[in-house]
Structures are given as C-alpha cells and as structure tokens.
Amino acid sequence: MRTLHLWSFLSFLSVCLFSLSAQDTDSVNYPNFKVDGSLKNKFERATDTGMSRFSVRNSRVGVRGNINTFSSYRVQVELSNEGKFSVLDLSGTLKPVDGLSLTLGQTSIPLFNSYIVSPSEMMFANRAFLGKYFLSTRDLGIHGKYAFDAGMVPVTIEAGFYNGNTINNPVWKNSLSSGGRVELGNMKGLRFTAKVYDYPNNDTTHFVFYGADLRYKADNWRVETEIMQKKSKTIHHSDMLSWYLQGACDVPIQSRMFEFIRPAVRWDAIDERKDEAGFDVNRLTAGIGFGFNQKQFSSILRFDYEWYFVNHEMQIFAANEEMDADKFTVELLFTF
C-alpha cells in the first residue's frame, strides 16, 4: 500500500511539475488547468508540560481546470497530514445553466467555511474547535450549487447527498448523509450563512449538525463569528456545541521580506455537558503574522499563543496532555 501511494505521488508530482511550465493562462482556451498547493510547517511548545515538537502539518498539491465552458474538474492530494498521505478531492463539475453547478465525486460538504478548515486560508496555525472536532470536511457524493441575485443581495444555495463515511471509503449505505446551506452576501463585505447536515453513519452513530455564521471583510481587516451544534440521534454519543469569534487586520510595512503584519485574536469554546457552569473548554488565541502576497505565491510566518481554560475534561482532548495545554506555535505557510 505504501508503494502504491509512493508511485501515485510521484506520478502526480511529475504531472504537476510539467504543468507549471505548460499551463494555459488564457481562460478562453480549453481545456485549461492550474496547479495550486500549500506547505505548512510548525513548531509547538506546550508551556504547561514543557514538551515540544516539529511537524509538517499540511502539504497539499492540487490541479483544477475547465474542460470546456460547461464542465470542470478538481484533484487534490495531501502528501503529509501529520505523516499520513490521503486523497482529498476527486471530482467533476457540470454547469448546465448560468449560476448552477453540479459536482460529483469526492468533494467538500456544505457545512464548513473554507477560511476555518483550509490551511491556506486560516487566520491561525490551529483550527477552531468546530472545524477540527465535529466532522470531516469532505465526503463522496453529489453537490449542487445555485447562485443568483435577490435584488441587491447575492444568494447562493447549496445541497448535497453523500455516503456519510467521510473520504476515501465508498461504502454501501441504506441511509445517505444529506445537507444544505444558504448564503447571503459575498466574501467581501457582509456575509451570512445558515446550514444543516444529517449524518447517519451506522447503528450507533447518527448526528445532525446545525450552524450559522456572520462575517464582515473590508480591504485590510475582517471579523468572523460562527456557532454550530452537533446533535446525537442515538444514546451512544453526547451532543456538542461550539462557537468562535475572531478577527485580524493587515498593516502594510516596508520590508525586504514582508509586505504586511497581521495581528489576530480569537476566542472559541466547546461544550458537551450543557449545564449552567459554562462551556467545558474555552480558548483564547493571540497571534501575529508577517507575510507577503504576490501574483502566484504567498507566504506568512505566524507566532501564536493559546491559553486554555478547562472547566471540565473532555474526551476529545484525552490523547495526550498537550492537546488542551497552553501552547506557543511558530508556523511557516507557503501557498501557490
């Protein structure tokens, strides 16, 4: 299996390297394609326990392109997610009419915001609780999206059906997962979304997710907040509730290495007991990043510190003491 993954990676990398010198920049010519990727390296020190580690958190390479005016494709692999290789995206999309797209294959589910779960778009080195501990961001299925304007307001409606067993596992199911999302606004300016996702995995695992988020992005700053609930439909799992509030501002600077400084702050919390004592775990994250943006490449060097406030121990943090310990993180992210 490792040999197969190695040959798959080498073949894919060869195609990517060839395409970097050959990809067509004229969008009116078909077929066309574009190579993209991200490399995320981290150093972490848990100040509560005195333990440290280096890691390659993400190393993604992908290809996307248009076959003609009404069809496109997306392929993306994770070369090393904490040492594990995985295929992320394998999908084709048809656009039968203006504003409507239908995607079939392994693709994102309509539940998470890309700026919370995608390494190249995140505001911090570590994901918010609801982007890490609730559900995988992708599945095998069909996903429809329709965008239109309701007066002055852009509207996007998404819906899909999926295997309900996350990625790279085409299982037979008698109950598919399904979900949808309504989005009002654009990524620039004010944006609101509401979403629901039904996830019947097996006889003991069946969750329904509800969520809503609000975001405002200006030229050099943004603020975002979101709340999500995971409701268990069986007695074998507990419910979970999480939310976050985060913001960042880009300050231009004159430097040989960097174009801007990005201070950022986030408060997020997660709870499964639903009592009056408050959320089980709260976290304050403060960071500062030094970055640049060019036509095809961008980079940011981040320094984050996380303070954990634990009111009640949770099983999701039980793998090691460092998971809910105060941490200092240095991250170097390259995106192309």
What are the tokens at 230? 């995971």
Question: What is the distance between the alpha carbons of residues 285 and 268, in angstroms, rounded to a whole number?
Answer: 8
Question: What is the distance between the alpha carbons of residues 164 and 172, in angstroms, rounded to a whole number?
Answer: 10
Q: Which of 332, 330, 328, 282 is nearest to 305 (CA)?
A: 328
pLDDT of residue 70: 96
* Global confidence as pTM: 0.89
The third-level CATH classification (topology) of the domain covering 2-335 is Porin (2.40.160)
Distance between terminal CA atoms of the chain? 29
pLDDT of residue 25: 45
Question: What is the distance between the alpha carbons of residues 173 and 200, in angstroms, rounded to a whole number?
Answer: 9
Residue 123 is which amino acid?
M
What are the tokens at 276? 């009056």
Residue 266 near residue 299, CB atoms below 8 Å? no
CA distances 142 to 62, 137, 183, 293, 321, Å, are 20, 14, 19, 34, 40
Question: What is the distance between the alpha carbons of residues 108 and 287, in angstroms, rounded to a whole number?
Answer: 28
Residue 11 near residue 48, CB atoms below 8 Å? no
Q: Which of 196, 192, 198, 249 is nearest to 226 (CA)?
A: 192
Write out the E strands in the chain: 34-46, 51-68, 71-81, 84-94, 100-108, 138-150, 153-162, 177-185, 189-200, 206-217, 221-232, 240-249, 251-252, 260-271, 281-293, 298-310, 327-335
pLDDT of residue 13: 52
CA distances 335 to 37, 91, 103, 251, 289, Å, are 6, 22, 25, 20, 15
pLDDT of residue 14: 55
Question: What is the distance between the alpha carbons of residues 170 and 210, in angstroms, rounded to a whole number?
Answer: 25
User: Each residue's pLDDT tens digit in the chain (336 positions)?
Assistant: 444 444 545 555 554 555 444 444 444 689 999 999 999 999 999 999 999 999 998 999 999 999 999 999 999 999 987 778 999 999 999 999 999 999 999 999 999 999 999 999 999 999 999 999 999 999 999 999 999 999 999 999 999 999 998 788 888 989 999 999 999 999 999 999 999 999 999 889 999 999 999 999 999 999 999 999 999 999 999 999 999 999 999 999 989 899 999 999 999 999 998 777 789 999 999 999 999 998 889 999 999 999 999 999 999 999 999 999 999 999 999 999
Q: Which of 228, 309, 302 is nearest to 272 (CA)?
A: 228
Question: What is the distance between the alpha carbons of residues 54 and 324, in angstroms, rounded to a whole number?
Answer: 18
DSSP 196-228: EEEEE-SSS-EEEEEEEEEEEE-SSEEEEEEEE
Residue 299 near residue 292, CB atoms below 8 Å? yes
Question: What is the distance between the alpha carbons of residues 270 and 309, in angstroms, rounded to a whole number?
Answer: 11
pLDDT of residue 289: 98
